[in-house]
Amino acid sequence: MEAKLSFTQDSPPISIISAAKVAGVSLSIDASLAVGSAPVLCFSSGESLRGVNPVLHYIAHAASSLSLCGRDAIEFGHVVEWLEYAPTFLSGSEFEVACSFVDGYLTSRTFLVGHGLTVADITVWSNLAGIGQRWESLKKSKKYQNLARWFNNIDSDYRETLNEVVVAYVGKRGIGKSPAPNLKEKVNVSKDPSAPEVDLPDAKFGEVCVRFAPEPSGYLHIGHAKAALLNKYFAERYQGRLIVRFDDTNPSKESNEFVENLLKDIETLGIKYDAVTYTSDYFPKLMEMAENLIKQGKAYVDDTPKEQMRSERMDGVESKCRNNTVEENLALWKEMINGSERGMQCCVRGKLDMQDPNKSLRDPVYYRCNTDPHHRIGSKYKVYPTYDFACPFVDALEGVTHALRSSEYHDRNAQYYRILQDMGMRRVEIYEFSRLNMVYTLLSKRKLLWFVQNKKVEDWTDPRFPTVQGIVRRGLKVEALIQFILQQGASKNLNLMEWDKLWTINKKIIDPVCARHTAVLKDQRVIFTLSNGPEKSFVRIFPRHKKFDGAGKKATTFTNRIWLDYADASAISKGEEVTLMDWGNAIIKEIKMESGVITELIGELHLEGSVKTTKLKVTWLPDIDELVPLSLVEFDYLISKKKLEEDENFLDNLNPCTRKETPALGDANTRNLQRGEIIQLERKGYYRCDTPFVRSSKPVVLFAIPDGRQQSSLN
């Protein structure tokens, strides 16, 4: 049914507009109501709804397949309660009170109602977004971390949908305080350093084009992920274009395997791009440009040996070839193109300024010879452009307006602009951000490749690797990675980040929904005989997660002989009453030992006992044949030093023990775990299933997931 939403220009109901966007409900907009009027939704039939909540109820019911009003009548009742509470955020005096209340409420929840997005989430999110800078400042202060986590999750999941609403109706000071920008007008650039958003210089809404340009010489790692997500952020914020370009200019290091996995990782991060291109697409034009620069006297061919050239550049000494004639240079250039013995001794250098204090301007190399076959075009070429030469050329050619580069390239910015100038091509703005560095972590692809080639890890997807596939395989949710990276923003300050912060975010995402199971260590367990236990075993059905029905059910078998972890058995005293989790209390009557080692506990059930009076609450497994063999795998950092200095060799700081496997037995339900499924083993921690059950002789492999607390060394 066609509908028109009318409201006052100074008070747009962004909760309604946002809900309609998420629900896919088409509305025409009329912002001409008199000041003070409530929003009205008018239908073509002549009927209408007045007020925010009635309209929200209509939208939620109109998109019934999305369950925006909850999954049942009880959840709908809670949704109504939240819709009535949501305006509290718009009351200046009550704003922080509301933030504090909802922050506490969200401690162990992912959504406000039930286990999925409802119109309650959209409304509260919209009201917070509508506050503008006050909420953004609070979010950055980390005062209300649960509320910020919830807000960022929705922002991440529905960014494309909600971004248009926020840009159009929310100014820096809040709803209606600044007019909606015309799509073709320049976005306001804030000079306030405390402003929540970061602006691109001279960016025009709808005209921005950015690019993410990885070299296909390895898999995407957490540092690349920051660059990729920042490009995505700016493309979406300015309603512009994002190009994924493979910088494939070094055939010795590159392969189709890397291209395919980089695209896979980009998809994993939820990045939608407008085009995929390759620098190799432009090789003919790049060669033509190099030849033109030679003819113009702006480049020359040099046969100076590599080490001597490096020394001369450091000392500001001009090459003996710098003043060769154009004819001499073109002749050597042809030798290079043919890959002749003479040509292989040469390279093409830009004729910039050998006396410049910025050494990147001291006649950089533009082209080198390489006879290795290229992964896309085979052995067609014997010469390949350097990154420094190809990047500005292709950026300008593809229409890139802003090139995002990490601040480690700062000294090369002048070179980038000078090369563009010599080429006679338009200027591309460089925007710098800080490289993401992690403690105890190597991000150099060359160094990571060493671990792969020397069999120190399985491959590029090894859980010890900082690659996207590696950390996801270890148990990191992509939402946590995105949240972590976007929290860093586009800051230019160099930071060494702790992994604990990332894993803490991850725990808050997985804990509310992951299933609970039980395991005992296979080589460190003790039998506990219950003298008054059930003579015949029986089964009860329990939820896999007591607070999340979506985790499903599990079957628990009760017997008169059960297994305890040895650590628990050794902490129990004779005569002590303990709680067997999900069963009840039991009293220890006898502790059998041989050579100081506990071999058996004997006791009796005391199910009428109070769990509040016991000191120990222990997990247990029935002594049955259906228990599942598990291999619990823990990991440690690949290097032993928090941060390696530039002059330190990583080979001198290798961690001798980075993987530890512990055999265990899991409850019978672990037989049904799927690859990639995340669970919690009660009182042991969180795990991701890497190898599911195949047969009893082969264990289910579970990778331990860090939870943000300091881990002890595996040594």
Query: Among 23-27, 364-368, 627-631, 691-695, which is the least confidently predicted range?
Result: 23-27
* 179 pLDDT more than 90: no
Cα–Cα distance for residue pair 499/32, rounded to 1 Å: 51
Query: Which tens digits make up the pLDDT trace of 444-479?
Result: 999 999 999 999 999 999 999 999 999 999 999 999
Of 622, 655, 683, which residue sits at a domain end?
622
Same domain, 492 and 639: yes
Of the listed ranges 170-179, 328-337, 424-433, the one predicted with least confidence: 170-179
Q: What is the pLDDT of residues 274-299, one digit of tens each?
A: 999 999 999 999 999 999 999 999 99
> What is the sign, positive or negative, of the torsion defined by CA atoms of 123, 129, 130, 134?
positive
pLDDT of 172 reads 45
Kindly state whether residues 447 and 558 are assigned to the same domain.
Answer: no
pLDDT computed for residue 627 by the predictor: 97
pLDDT at 184: 26
Is the pLDDT at 408 greater than 90? The verdict is no
Q: Which domain holds residue 112?
A: 3-170
Residues 505 and 574 in one domain: no
Strands 577-580 and 584-594: what pairing? antiparallel
Q: Do the beta carbons of residue 563 and residue 620 sit within 8 Å?
A: yes
pLDDT level of residue 211 (50, 70, 90 thresholds): very high
pLDDT at 36: 67
Q: Are residues 19 and 102 in the same domain?
A: yes
Residue 490 pLDDT: 65
The reply to whether 56 and 131 lie within a common domain is: yes
- Per-residue pLDDT tens for 189-198? 333 333 235 6
**Same domain flag for 584 and 631:** no
- Distance, CA of 246 to CA of 259 (rounded, Å): 8
Residues 610 and 629 occupy one common structural domain: no
Distance CA 659, CA 141 (A): 37
Residue 560's domain is classified under what CATH number? 2.40.240.10
CATH of the domain at 658: 1.10.1160.10
The residue-averaged pLDDT of 221-228 equals 92
Nearest to 516, CA basis, from 551, 541, 549? 551
CA max distance for the chain: 102
Question: What's the pLDDT at 96?
Answer: 81
Comparing 11-25, 355-369, 478-492, the range with the smallest average pLDDT is: 478-492
The answer, yes or no, to whether residue 576 has pLDDT greater than 60, is yes
Domain count, the chain: 3
Q: Which tokens sit at 603?
A: 């006791």
Greater pLDDT, 686 or 34: 686
* pLDDT given at position 35: 65
Given 622, 645, 671, which residue is the final one in a domain?
622
Confidence (pLDDT) at 715: 64
107 and 11 within one domain: yes
Among residues 325, 346, 322, 323, the alpha carbon closest in space to that of 334 is found at 346
pLDDT higher than 60, residue 181: no
Pairwise CA distance, residues 173 & 134, whole Å: 8
pLDDT in tens, 77-135: 888 889 988 888 876 667 888 888 898 889 888 899 988 899 999 999 988 888 877 78
Give the pLDDT of residue 191: 32
Q: Are 232 and 271 in contact (CB under 8 A)?
A: yes
Is 207 a member of any domain?
Answer: no
Task: Tell me whether strands 495-497 and 561-565 are parallel, antiparallel or unpaired.
Answer: unpaired
Q: 170, 202, 232: which is the final residue of a domain? A: 170
Write the pLDDT tens digit of every residue in 486-508. Answer: 777 666 666 788 999 999 999 99
- Which residues are tagged catalytic? 215, 435, 445
Instruction: Please report whether residue 293 resides in a domain.
Output: no
Mean pLDDT of the chain: 89
Of 73, 61, 47, 48, residue with least CA distance to 19: 61
Count of CB atoms within 10 A of residue 444's CB? 12
Interatomic CA distance for residues 647 and 169, integer angstroms: 52
**What pLDDT band is residue 242 in, cutting at 50, 70 and 90?**
very high
CA nearest neighbour of 566 among 529, 605, 518, 598 = 598
Verify that 9 and 34 share a domain, yes or no.
Answer: yes
- Using the predicted structure, report yes or no on whether residue 206 has a pLDDT greater than 60: yes
685 domain residue, yes or no? yes
Query: Which has more confidence, 37 or 543?
Result: 543
Using CA atoms, how far residue 203 sits from 89, 194, 198, 681, in Å, is 32, 20, 11, 50
The whole-angstrom separation of Cα 68 and Cα 73 is: 12
CA distance 146 to 101: 11
